[in-house]
Structures are given as structure tokens and as C-alpha cells.
Amino acid sequence: MEEKKKRNTKQNIKLLWRFLKGSKHLFALSIFSAMLSALADMVSPQIIRMAIDNALGGKEPKQPRFVLDFVESLGGFAYLGKHLWIMALGIVIVAVVKALAQYGFRVYNTKAAETLVKTMRDSLFGHIQHLPFAWHGQNRTGDIIQRCTSDIDTMKNFVSEQLTQVFRIVILLAFSMVFMFRMDVTLTLIALIPMPLIIGYSLVFHRSIGKGFEECDEQEGVLSAMVQENLTGVRVVRAFGRERYERDRFDVNNEKYTSLWVRLAKIMARYWSTADILSGLQVMLVVVFGAVFCINDRILSGDYVAFISYNAMLVWPIRMLGRMISEMSKAGVSLDRIAYIMNAQEEAPSPQGLKPDLTKADIVFEHVSFAYENSPEMLHDISFCLPAGHTLGIIGGTGSGKSTLMALLTKLYLLPEEGGGRITIGGVDVKDIDTDYLRKNVGMVLQEPFLFSRTLKENIAITKPDMSLEEIRDVSRAACLDETILGFAKGYETFVGERGVTLSGGQKQRAAIARTLAQEAPIMVFDDSLSAVDTETDARIRASLKARFGSASVILISHRITTLSQADEVLVLEKGRIAEQGAPEALKSAGGIYQQIYEIQTGLAREGESYAG
């Protein structure tokens, strides 16, 4: 999808901080709750320790002064030894505090996580909407969708489940170490022996895990793109009987995706099994040496029980380090993929942002030359003028540059600063016209009309949602579609399937024409948009358009001579150059390409008439 670049960690952290806007306070509350829960975990072993050694064993207390003062206020250790229910109640109170803290953590963390997801999706979708048309042509739709779904979920899981636990882990580590060192320095050092090995081992696996997740993520994007293309083009797949071929192609890529995850699972299995062995070794050392120290009266029984509890709290964060590292690797890959979209430059606004009156404006192309990125030049020195209110026809072979001209007119692509020529409307360079304003005033019916998964009524009124049904019917009549729609069981409330799959090609084109007419733009572009309708309907639509929008400047791109017959002037393009230019009637006998096309098409028409007769 994109060239691999070195990860910019600093820039990615700034992006993540930006996404956290609106959820920072919720994450702060969840972190506070996690820390409170960790403190509660620290208190329980101390109560058990005091119950065994001081309240029951009568040993000399070694607790801090404030703890001893609190115990004295309750009646002292001797009193507590006779009333153990008080210490049991203390454990219950600590457990309740922990339960409330965990509840608060779950509630605030969930709210924060979902807020983060919403912010990320809103930011990504809004940014994608403003990216240049060329960017969308270079990136697969399925892969973009995967970045906006799966990668966002990965980021949410990492922030909500891993980062928020960091503070809890710090509390557990810090207090566990303090209490353990206070009880026995030697046993604490023994407990710490395997820790550098576990940490070092985790860091070694970090790179291979991250690379594995990146490969899996990229392959998932390939699969997503393949599924999206097949679902969108299901008609073509079925029409050409390509189901088996597409299934086999999917199986190959799915097998590759599965093998990548299996390989990553093996790496993770080696990591976790080794970490388990090291963690088990650490626990064994503490249990064995602690038992020896306890038998030799080096530590008390209560200290031994508390030490094992704190050691368990120490081992858990260290074990969590492995999961955090693997999740960090996944999150780093996902954040890189999201950053690729967010770092893409949005469509630059016009420096002047002019909004001239385009209702009676001549359209002029002056020595326009253009080439797509990494491609040979498509247009070569194109110059022509379309007077306001006139109709210009454009005809030419496939790849001659017809649609490119219109993409340049609406700034879907920009002319190069040097040697690209100039396009003006009413004497104003299109580069200086506000982009939104320009596109609202240039109605385009694309070569491949796109209809959304909505009703026909909503599709036609998409540019003016407040249109009344009568206004919608009016533009539909102009597009020769009203009668067809009324023939449907639900009329204008008929639901159109994705990309208009429930309509015929001609019906989709007419719906797209009606949608453009509803825009009431002073400049209308029809990019081969009548190719799927019959000749009679073509003539009716052209007559209707002329009667309805006679004052609009119209550009007709077509392969049909009949469609261009009413144009004031016709351009014939060949290999990106203007081969012929003039009135349709004059070009019929000019002895050029237009005459050849005319004779072929009228000859075919006569043959068709003879055959029908």
C-alpha cells in the first residue's frame, strides 16, 4: 500500500495524545482506581502478617509508628488476638475497597476506551474525506477499511488494557519491593535473581514479535481488500463464472495469512513457555529459601506468608511485561498504519479562495498538459474555449484523456506549476477558486455512476436533502426516470442495493443524471453517462436537458455521434491531443476521425434497420 518508512515514535505519540482528547480525564479516573486497587492488595498481606505474628504469636511488632498507633486505638495486639473478628473485618473492608476500585476502573476505563475509539474513527473518517482523489487511487479500499477498524481496535485494547495497568504495576512493584526488603534483604535479592533474565528475554523477542504482527496486519489488509472487491463486483464474478477462481485466490491468500499467524504463535509460545519456566523458577527459589529461613528462625511465619503474597504480586507484573511488550508491538504497527493515513496531506485549499459568479462564465483551457504520477504524459497542449451557455461535445478513443480533462476542471487533479498550462472559468484560474464552491457549481455525471445503499428518493436528493417529492419527480422526469420509478412497487421509496446493484445500467445512469440536475449547477458535465440507455431514451433526455437547462454550459463526453449531434462544437481527442475541432455538421464531411466514426455508426444503424426489416 505504501512504502515502508522508519517509524517516527515521537510523531506517533503526538498523534495518540491528540486522539486522547476527550477521554484523558476518564483514563485518569480509571488509573486512579487501578492504583487504589493495588494499594488494597498491599494491605491484606500486612493484616494477615500481624494476625499471625503479633496478635496470635505475641512477637514484637516491627510496623511503622502510625500503624502501631492505629492498633493501640483498637485495643492493642493482645486485644486483637482475642477478637480476631476485628482483623477479619479489616480484611473484608479492604476487599470491599478493592472491589469498588475495580468497579470504578472497569466503568471509567470502558467509557474512556469507547470515547477514544469514537475520536479515532471520527478523525480518520473526516481526514479521509479530505484527502486528494489521487491518494484514493493509490490505496486499496479494503486496506483502508482494515486500518479504520482492526487497527483502531488494537490501539484501544493496548491503551485501555495495558497502558492503564502500568500505574497499577508500578504501585505493586514499588510497595512489594519495599515490604519484601523490610522483611528480609537476602530473600528479596534471591527473588530478584531471575528478573533480569525475564526482562532481557522479553526485550529480545520484542523485535521479532513486532515484525510478525506487521506482516499479519498487512496480509489482513490484502484479504480485506479482496473481500471488498469481490462483494462489490459480485455481478461480474457471477456473470463470468469466476467463483472457483476467486475462491482459490482467496484460499491462497488466506492460507498465507493463517501461516503468518501460526508462525507468530510459535514465537509467542516459545516466549511464554520460557517466561513461565523462569517465573516458576523464581517462585520455587522464594518458597524453598523462605522455608529454610523460617525453619532457622531467620524470619517469622507471618513474614513468610506475607513474603510469598508479595512475591506473587512481584511476579505478576514481570509476567505482564511480556504481554505488554507483545501488545506494544501490535499497537506500534497499528499506530504506524493509522499514522500513514493521518499524515497524508489533505487536499490543499485554494490560496485565494475566490467565489466568482460562474453562471455566465466562459471555460477556457490554455495549453494544458498533464501526466499522472509515474506515468507518461496523458494530455498534450490542449487549448479550447467553451462560451457560457454553449454545449461542447468531446469524443475520442479509450485513454485519449476525455475524463482527465473533466477531473482537471473540478480540481480532482491539479495541473503542475510549470508547463501544465492554465484552466480558467470566467477569467479566473480554477486554482484560485474555492474548491467546495467550484464543485458545487459543476454538476458531474460520472462514467461509472455510483448509487448509495439508500432509497431512490435519497439518492436523487443527495445534493439537496430538503427537496420535496415533487421537485425530485421533476428532475426525474427530465432524466426520463419518473415513469420507471413509479413502476416499482415502492416507487421513490425503493431501496437501492450497494452501488445500485438492484438497478439496470441505464436506470443507474438516469438516476445519476437526475441527481446532478437536482444540483442546478451552471456548468454540467456528462461523462459518457448515456452509454447504457437506448438511442430513443438518449434523444429524449438530451431534448429534456436542452429545454430545462438551456442557459447552462454543458460538456458532453460520449462515444455516440447522435449524443453529440446537438453540441455547438465538438473536440476529437486522439492520444491526448486535439485531432479535430469544429461544429458536428462540418466534421461529418471533414474527412477525419469524426467522419469515420459517423460513417461506421450510421452504417451500423442502417445495417440494423435492414436486418430488422
Please compute Rg for the chain using Cα positions. 36
229-246 tens-digit pLDDT: 787 777 677 777 888 888
**Cβ-Cβ contacts under 8 Å for 475 (sequence gap 6 or more):** 460, 514, 515, 517, 518
pLDDT at 99: 93
Least confident residue range of 59-63, 453-457, 583-587: 59-63
Contact call for residues 314 and 170 (beta carbons, < 8 A): no
Beta strands in 575-611 (DSSP E): 577-582
pLDDT at 210: 67
- In this structure, what C-alpha cell is assigned to residue 415? 495541473
Q: Which of 501, 556, 500 lies closest to 529, judged by CA? A: 556
pLDDT higher than threshold 90 for residue 327: no
The answer to whether the 9-342 and 352-441+522-533+553-613 domains have the same CATH topology is no
Least confident residue range of 290-299, 372-381, 523-532, 551-560: 523-532
For the chain, what percent of residues have pLDDT higher than 90? Answer: 17
pLDDT at 236: 74
Per CATH, the number for 448-520 is 3.40.50.300
pLDDT at 433: 92
Contact call for residues 551 and 389 (beta carbons, < 8 A): yes
pLDDT at 117: 92
What's the mean per-residue pLDDT of the chain?
83
pLDDT at 122: 93
pLDDT at 549: 62
| Distance, CA of 276 to CA of 321 (rounded, Å) | 12
Could you tell me the pLDDT band of residue 365, with boundaries at 50, 70 and 90? Answer: very high
Domain boundaries, the chain: 9-342, 352-441+522-533+553-613, 448-520
pLDDT at 124: 93
pLDDT higher than threshold 90 for residue 161: no
Could you tell me the pLDDT band of residue 154, with boundaries at 50, 70 and 90? Answer: confident
Could you tell me the pLDDT band of residue 606, with boundaries at 50, 70 and 90? Answer: low
Question: Average pLDDT of 475-495?
Answer: 88
The secondary structure of residue 554, as a DSSP letter, is E
CA 350 to chain centre: 27
Reduced to 3 states (helix: H, G, I; strand: E, B; else coil), residue 422 is strand
pLDDT at 7: 57
| Distance, CA of 478 to CA of 546 (rounded, Å) | 10
Residue owning grid cell 491484606: 44
pLDDT at 531: 67
Q: Which of 536, 534, 531, 594 lies closest to 567, judged by CA? A: 594
Neighbours of 265 (CB within 10 A): 11
Question: Average pLDDT of 403-415?
Answer: 90
| Distance, CA of 283 to CA of 308 (rounded, Å) | 8
Strand order in 422-425's β-sheet?
A: 377-386, 363-371, 422-425, 428-429
Fold of 352-441+522-533+553-613: Rossmann fold (3.40.50)
Neighbours of 172 (CB within 10 A): 24
| Distance, CA of 556 to CA of 560 (rounded, Å) | 10
| Distance, CA of 217 to CA of 155 (rounded, Å) | 13
Question: Average pLDDT of 264-291?
Answer: 81
491-502 tens-digit pLDDT: 989 888 655 556
- In this structure, what C-alpha cell is assigned to residue 142? 479494503
pLDDT at 500: 56
Phi, psi of 534 (to 5 degrees): -70, 165
More confident residue, 313 or 350: 350
Reduced to 3 states (helix: H, G, I; strand: E, B; else coil), residue 469 is helix
More confident residue, 330 or 549: 330
Could you tell me the pLDDT band of residue 367, with boundaries at 50, 70 and 90? Answer: very high
More confident residue, 489 or 69: 489
pLDDT higher than threshold 90 for residue 384: yes
Number of alpha carbons in the 13 Å side-chain half-sphere of residue 539 = 3
pLDDT at 516: 86
pLDDT higher than threshold 90 for residue 569: yes
pLDDT at 1: 46
Phi, psi of 7 (to 5 degrees): -65, 130
| Distance, CA of 471 to CA of 488 (rounded, Å) | 19
DSSP H helical segments within 51-194, as ranges?
A: 65-73, 76-82, 84-129, 133-138, 141-158, 164-183, 185-192
**In sequence order, what are the beta bridge partners of 573?**
396, 578
pLDDT higher than threshold 50 for residue 3: no
- In this structure, what C-alpha cell is assigned to residue 305? 506468608
For the chain, what percent of residues have pLDDT higher than 70? Answer: 91
More confident residue, 520 or 204: 520
Least confident residue range of 204-208, 295-299, 478-482: 204-208
pLDDT at 613: 37
pLDDT at 513: 87
Question: Average pLDDT of 53-65?
Answer: 73
Number of residues assigned to the chain? 613
Least confident residue range of 141-145, 324-328, 406-410, 411-415: 324-328
Could you tell me the pLDDT band of residue 610, with boundaries at 50, 70 and 90? Answer: very low
Question: Average pLDDT of 199-219?
Answer: 73
Question: Average pLDDT of 28-34?
Answer: 89
For 9-342, give the CATH class: mainly alpha
**In sequence order, what are the beta bridge partners of 574?**
577
Least confident residue range of 107-121, 152-166, 190-204, 559-573: 190-204
DSSP H helical segments within 159-242, as ranges?
A: 164-183, 185-192, 195-232, 234-239
pLDDT at 279: 77
pLDDT higher than threshold 70 for residue 323: no
